[in-house]
Amino acid sequence: MKIVIGNDHTGVEMKNAIVKYLIDHKYEVINLGTDSNAAVDYPDLGQAVGARVIQEKDTFGIVICGTGIGISMAANKVKGVRAALCAETILAKLAREHNNANVLALGARVIANQNAIWIVETFLNTSFDANRHGFRVDKLNTL
């Protein structure tokens, strides 16, 4: 499975921890984020990750900024993206099961790196329950 990850300057450390986890677990990782602490604009990164997720089949995205709020808003501007800001594993589980989220948003200033890894693990290992929630996601996709 391919994971596209993007982060602003506040998320470099978290991104690096997540990328290590993903590579250790045999995921293909595409890094669209910054590796520097110099300020960059999260809207550009959220949009870039969202666009890549939509272009490439069987691809998930992870976006990281200080709170996860701004970058998730940016990613959700891309038609077909369902970015979910998750601060706990239960949110990641439900975002996948109920909403078929295809992008996970995380806040580097509000989530410890180890918790972020657990959230990523939950997100990637949870399947969408299309039988129960498919018609609602279809409605989302028409908005």
pLDDT tens-place string over residues 110-142: 999 999 999 999 999 999 998 888 889 888 888
The radius of gyration computed from the CA coordinates of the chain, to the nearest angstrom, equals 14
Domains with residue ranges and CATH for the chain: 2-142 (3.40.1400.10)
Banded pLDDT at 34 (limits 50, 70, 90): very high
The single-letter code of the amino acid at 81 is V
Q: State the number of CA atoms in the 13 A half-sphere of 53 facing the CB.
A: 27
Q: C-alpha dihedral over 61, 37, 41, 8, to 10 degrees?
A: 20
Whether the CB-CB separation of 62 and 84 falls below 8 Å is answered with no
* Residues designated as active site: 65, 98
- Summarised one tens digit per residue, pLDDT across range 62-111 is 999 999 999 999 999 999 999 999 999 999 999 999 999 999 999 999 99
pTM above 0.85, yes or no: yes
Phi, psi of 70 (to 5 degrees): -60, -45
